[in-house]
Chain A
Amino acid sequence: MTDDDLEQRLRFHYRRIDPGLPSPALGTRVIDALDGRRSAPTLRVWPIPGLAAMMAAAVVVLLGLAFGLRPGGFLAGLRTSSTAPASLTPGSAFPSAGISTSPAPTPLPPGPDVQAAGLVDPLHGWAVVEHRLQITADGGSTWRDATPPGAFATASADLLLGVDFVDAQHGWVAINAGIASASDASFGRVDLWRTTDGGSTWTQGLLPLAAMNHNGDTLPQVQLDFLDASHGFAFLSGNLAQGANDSDLFWTADGGRTWSADRPTGSGHVGIEGDIGFATGNDGVIVNAPHGEGIVVTHDAGRTWADASLALPPGLAGADRFFGKPAFFNERSGLVAVDFQGQTGSVTRVYRTADAGSSWTLAATLPVRGNSTLAFFDQNRWIGLNGSELLRTNDSGRTWVRTAAVALPGGQPSLLLADEQHAWALVAMDVCLTFKSNCSSRTGLYATVDGGSTWTQLSPR
């Protein structure tokens, strides 16, 4: 077969599958989606919790964020729950589900759209609302604007790429400053502002240029993962550069004053994308990676990466897997929650490592199905949310207590833990009042001071 023959076959192939014009409904869908964005401007920022060193065990698990929720799936009434642990259906890899009905779609509750948030301790936390960084020192009752000077100065022009605080004083904000043209100095540049006084004053710094100098229009979010006030990583997952693809890792040992040269995780064709989690300055993983079982590990501070092993139970080898952020409790031991999306629903399992992320074995299975959020106080005490239901275990998932999370709206939550009583939940809510149209979305911030039994909405602005 000559090149011409092959090219002709390809042209014929595409002519055969040419769909022609889309249905008019697609235009309506896009208009509705854009209108939803316009009414509630949203920066696509992953919630990155600020973690105090003493609370390094606390971890936020974001599961199923890639999935849209169905009409009516939100704002479902609070469910009554049994305190008895649920059991797995014999012969099934997925837990059984109770009979449920979806109420008619309801408009989203009022409140600010929170793009990102982090809880440092029971009193101190931060949130990003309408391009402004807000900080609280009283558990969310009052807030002050701690936006770095110069950054977000023109809210419509700057891109917030990431935020992290390791304690009430030390924090970092990654921003791509607004540009007037592709020749601007800030085109594709990441400014990393740092504070050592809780956001009262900020110092501007820069990330070095990526190995492949990227284009601003595809600049990814910056995942900031600080181990303490001095040591941390900045990770740009899926940094597209002139048609090639890379993911770039930078390391600082002086609180962000200086950064290492780029340690790209890819060769320029396909970088190792995903979400980072480091146990030490050398040992860490990228989860949700398009490699192996979805998790890769480094033991040399990101210079080289290898596929980690993940023990898959029968029947789940082919299921979609979505990892939460891994939690490390010391230099070797850690946990990660994995949501398996199968033909009959999804189930969340917890995996444990004892070798700094090289191998992961099954530790427990959540007794509920559907997208769940899980966070770890330590190796044995975990707390989770499944819709408006609270799950808690004190024995590494052998037994669970299930109660209602009162006043927490349904949706896709992520948990931010301060201690066993104080937590925040970012709840991503999205509803289409009619099928795939008249849609709106918003992320609300909720707080609990009683271990998750009751929740109140916060208004960080």
Chain B
Amino acid sequence: MVDEAAASATTDDAMQRLLLTRIDDAYRLATFILRDPLAAEDAVQEAALVAWDRRHSLRDRRAADGWFTRILVNVCRDEMRRRARRARGIDLQSFLGRGSIPSAGDLEGDADLGPAMARLTPDEQSLLALRFGNELTVPEIAARLRIPEGTVKSRLHHALQHLRAAIDAERRASEHMR
């Protein structure tokens, strides 16, 4: 019994170290997805706690990156849904694309990108953040999300299509306001 407890403590120490070494990358990805550094910090902490509670499901430490990425993306997705629910029924347009840090959309000539990104689903935004924010390759994303490479390519394609349509919609809305 004592040995089991000691082994458990050792394992838990290793898990804590494993999670702590991933904070920096997790914070960066969460910020890309949520576009809010404070919300990203909360998401990282929440993801760490979820991962801790699920630590016994991770048997292969080599899979830790993907495992923790999936948990973090889920946490971010939940947060984005909460935001969307809050935005529904109020000034949705002004809510879209709002973040606590400047976005590329704030730049002259690129004002439509930030709001357009916010029109995408949480899953699409997460995928774009992994691909173009974290600069992961398609195989790397496939490995982290545990989905086939073809699925990653297909979803990226659809996400870009949706983003293009959202940019057009933003431009039409902007012209209508003038």
A residues near B (Cβ < 8 Å) are 1, 3, 6-7, 9-14, 16-23, 26-27, 29-31, 33-34, 37-38, 42-44, 66, 156-159, 176, 178-182, 215-219, 238, 240, 242-245, 269-270, 290, 294, 312, 317-321, 341
Contact = CB atoms under 8 A, between A and B. Distances in A.
Contacts of B28: 18-20
Interface of B: 8, 12, 16, 19-20, 23-24, 27-28, 31-32, 35, 37, 40-41, 44-45, 48-50, 52-54, 56-60, 67, 70-71, 74, 81-82, 84-91, 99, 101-105, 107, 110, 113-114, 117, 121, 123, 128-129, 132-133, 135, 145-147, 151, 160, 163-164, 167
Contacts, number: 165
Per DSSP, chain B at the interface is helix
B98 to A, nearest CB: 13
A3 B132 CA distance: 13
A386 to B, nearest CB: 23
Which 7 pairs show the lowest CB-CB distances between chains A and B? A318-B90, A317-B89, A13-B104, A243-B147, A14-B133, A10-B132, A22-B27
B156 to A, nearest CB: 10
Given A29-B45, A30-B19, A245-B123, A317 B52 contact: no
A435 to B, nearest CB: 13
A34 B19 contact: yes
Contact of B89 (A159, A243, A312): A312
A240 B103 contact: no
A243 B143 CA distance: 10
B67 A217 contact: yes
Nearest to A16: B104
Contact of A243 (B31, B110, B146, B163): B146
B104 A30 contact: no
A192 to B, nearest CB: 19
Nearest to A68: B42
Contacts of A270: 121, 123
B27 A19 contact: yes
A6 B160 contact: yes
Contacts of A66: 82
A16 B107 contact: yes
Contacts of A6: 160, 163-164
A13 B103 contact: yes
Nearest to B48: A30
A3 B153 CA distance: 13
